């Protein structure tokens, strides 16, 4: 049964590949002839995009944490100054 699944998957991949053509002057791009979509075949470029996205998300999380900490510090300073003024 597992081999049948592989064969079906391989045949679908072959059909998909037959419907794609390499874009002139750029072997990393191919055009899906059925949908007209341009697809990037460069897995290294994809990996780099994923890494950049993760890094951007990490930096955004750090920025939000810093904003939260600054807000908490501002609240503490306000509380302290109110206690001092009493």
Please report the pLDDT score of residue 1 as a whole number.
Answer: 44
Is residue 32 within 8 Å of residue 15, measured between CB atoms?
no
Q: Residue 32 belongs to what H/E stretch?
A: strand 26-32
Q: Is 23 exposed, middle or buried (0-12, 13-18, 19+ CB in 10 A)?
A: middle
Is residue 52 within 8 Å of residue 67, measured between CB atoms?
no
| pLDDT, tens digit (0-9, with 9 covering 90-100), for 36-83 | 898 988 999 889 999 999 999 999 999 999 999 999 999 999 999 999
């Amino acid at each position: 049964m597992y081999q049948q699944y592989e064969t079906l998957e391989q045949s679908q991949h072959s059909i998909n590949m037959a419907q794609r053509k390499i874009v002139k002057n750029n072997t990393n791009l191919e055009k899906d002839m059925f949908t007209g979509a341009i697809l990037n075949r460069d897995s290294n470029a994809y990996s780099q995009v994923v890494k950049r996205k993760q890094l951007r998300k990490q930096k955004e999380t750090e920025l939000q944490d810093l904003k939260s900490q600054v807000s908490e510090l501002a609240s503490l300073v306000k509380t302290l100054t109110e206690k001092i003024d009493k």
